[in-house]
Structure 1
């Protein structure tokens, strides 16, 4: 996922300040994910469960990322598509419902882990992180399709 992010940053970085911010926030989310999951290159010194604070910070970053997409970035991307091409607008309108499906899983993860009434729930964390990673990877691919539409069909210089 980090490699794909680096490619996205190389391809679209610098074309629009909102997109730069969005990709930067994706990077922050991925770093927190890899740290929380204990995956390279952000492995833990000790083999231990993450702290509740680490989990809550990740949940906050996750909600911020999906919210930013829905309430800031997608609206601007769709508006740019609407202004420039009916084909782009139609493609964007097809992608957004697919992206929204991943939002539900992300919010379910947040609801489950942000309050953690029972620490026994941590036994499910690895499986839930794995499912979340698969969902978010699919989301990133869909988001990148939106970016590609704008990059190839429209000038996004801001």
Structure 2
């Protein structure tokens, strides 16, 4: 997922402040994910459960990222796409409902882990992180489709 983020940053970085901020927040989320999942290069040498505070911090970033998409970025991307014609707006509007299940998965993860103080719940973390990663990868691909539509249409209009 980090490699895909690097590609997105190279492709769309610097084209829009909102997109730059969004990609920056995606990076923070992914780095934090790797840390609590114990993935290289962010893993510790000993294998242990992350602290409750670290998991809560990840949950906060996760909810912030998901919320930013739904309440700030997506509407602005759809509006920008509408400036480039009905086909762009329609395509953007078709992508958005596909993102909803990934939002639900992120919120379910947050509900389970954000306030827990139960060590037994943390024993389920690896499995739940794996499922979350699958959902977030899908989400990032769909978000990148939105960005590609916007970028492609913007490029056509500036040439």
> Same fold by TM (over 0.5)?
yes
- Alignment match, 1:107: 107
2:52·2:117 contact (CA, 8 Å) conserved in 1? no
Q: Name structure 2 gaps, 5 residues minimum.
A: none
Maintained 8 Å contact 2:82/2:89 = yes
Cα root mean square deviation, aligned: 1.3
> In structure 2, what is the equivalent of residue 125 of structure 1?
125
Which whole-Å CA distance do the structure 2 matches of 1:117 and 1:47 have between them? 20
TM-score by length of 1: 0.96
Unaligned runs of 5+ in 1: none
**Which residue does the alignment assign to 1:71?**
71
Q: What is the distance in 2 between the residues matched to 1:28 and 1:87?
A: 33
| Alpha-carbon distance between aligned partners in 1 of 2:59 and 2:45, rounded to the nearest angstrom | 22
Q: TM-score, normalised by structure 2?
A: 0.95
Query: For residues 91-136 of structure 1, what are the alpha-carbon distances to aligned partners after superposition, in whole Å with 9 as ceiling and x for unaligned?
Result: 1111000111100000000000001153211111000000000000
Alignment deviations for residues 2-61 of structure 1 (CA, whole Å, 9 cap, x no partner) = 000000000000000000000000000000000000001111132110000000000000
Q: Could you tell me how far apart the structure 2 residues matched to 1:145 and 1:55 are?
A: 29
**After alignment, is 21-30 or 83-92 more displaced?**
83-92
Q: Which has the higher contact order (CA 8 A, sep 6+)?
A: 1
Instruction: Determine helix, strand or coil for the equivalent of 1:146.
Output: helix
